[in-house]
Amino acid sequence: MRASTLALALFIAFGMTGARSAPAPKPADSITLQSVLQKMDSMATDFRTAQADFEWDNYQRVIDDVIDIQTGTIYYRRVNNGIEMKADIKKSGPTVASLKPDPKFVLISNGKARMYLPKPDTVTEYDLAKNHSDLESYMVLGFGGSGQDLQKAFDVTFGGTEKIKEASTGTEVTTARLELVPKSESVRKVYNKMILWIDPDRGISVQQQFFTPQNDYRLCKYSSIKLKEKIGDEVFKLKTTNKTQTVSAGG
pLDDT at res. 20: 37
- pLDDT tens, position by position, 72-97: 999 988 887 677 889 999 999 988 88
- pLDDT tens, position by position, 143-163: 667 888 888 889 999 999 999
Mean pLDDT of the chain: 81
Confidence band of 106 (pLDDT split at 50, 70, 90): very high
pLDDT at 53 over 90: no
Q: Which of 121-152 are b and which e, b meaning 16 or more Cβ less than 10 Å from the residue's Cβ?
A: eebbbbbbeebeebbbbbbbbbbbbbbebbee
The architecture (CATH level 2) of 3-248 comes to: Clam (2.50)
- pLDDT tens, position by position, 196-241: 988 888 787 888 899 999 989 989 888 777 878 899 999 999 999 9
For residue 179, CA distances in Å to 31, 116, 176, 192 come to: 15, 33, 10, 11
Residue 176: count other Cβ atoms within 10 Å of its Cβ.
25
Mean pLDDT of 109-115: 86
pLDDT at res. 222: 80
Calculate what percentage of the chain has a pLDDT beyond 70: 80
Domain ranges of the chain: 3-248
pLDDT at res. 28: 64
